[in-house]
């Protein structure tokens, strides 16, 4: 069964979202486009939360977000339990965000990259498994922020 991937952006990521959605469909993923649906000015959190909600609840294993810098989307998405939203600006960062951090949301800084760079980052991220091992322990500590030094 095709993996279902929710994707969202604000106006700054709109054009690249359209491009990446087409690429995802071509690659065989089932894309759920949660907006925005035009280049009209919007607020990034309105699109970060619906994507993060799906990943947090387990309705989707992974999701993709885009805004100008990637920062606003990551701040909003990372407020959700079990969400690890990683801003990736190179394929190497995307790879490490999967191998070391088991990132379950990829955040792309659309104003800083070409469409081709965005595609390379997305493909690398989608195709890289989590390394596990010592990184399991480190990720578990993220969830224990209220325990001081864990």
Alpha carbon 59 to its chain centroid, in Å, reads: 15
Q: What are phi and psi of 42, to 5 degrees?
A: -140, 180
Q: Is 112 a catalytic residue?
A: no
Give me the sign of the Cα torsion angle 110, 86, 94, 119: negative
Which of the stretches 47-55, 69-77, 84-92, 137-145 binds ligand RB5 when contact is defined by CB under 6 A?
A: 69-77
Q: Does 54 bind ligand RB5 (CB under 6 A)?
A: no
100 is catalytic: yes
**44 lies in the site for ligand RB5, by CB under 6 A:** yes
Task: Report the Cα 95 to chain-centroid distance in Å.
Answer: 13
For 85, left (φ over 0), alpha (ψ -120 to 50), or beta? Answer: beta
In the complex, what is the shortest distance from the CB of residue 109 to ligand RB5, in angstroms, rounded to a whole number? 7
Among 2, 39, 71, 140, binds ligand RB5 (CB under 6 A): 71
The catalytic site residues sit at 67, 100
Q: Which residue ranges make up the site for ligand RB5 (CB under 6 A)?
A: 10, 12, 44, 67-69, 71-72
């Amino acid at each position: 069964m095709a993996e279902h991937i929710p994707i969202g952006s604000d106006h700054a990521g709109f054009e690249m979202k359209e491009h990446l959605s087409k690429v995802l469909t071509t690659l065989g993923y089932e894309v759920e486009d949660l907006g925005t649906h035009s280049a009209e000015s919007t607020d990034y959190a309105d699109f970060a939360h619906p994507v993060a909600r799906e990943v947090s609840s387990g309705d989707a294993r992974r999701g993709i977000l885009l805004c100008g810098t990637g920062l606003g989307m990551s701040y909003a998405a990372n407020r959700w339990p079990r969400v690890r939203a990683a801003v990736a600006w190179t394929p190497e960062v995307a790879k490490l965000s999967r191998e070391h951090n088991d990132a379950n949301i990829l955040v792309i800084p659309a104003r800083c990259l070409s469409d081709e760079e965005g595609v390379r980052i997305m493909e690398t991220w989608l195709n890289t498994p989590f390394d596990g091992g010592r990184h399991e322990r480190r990720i578990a500590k993220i969830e224990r922020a209220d325990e001081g030094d864990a």
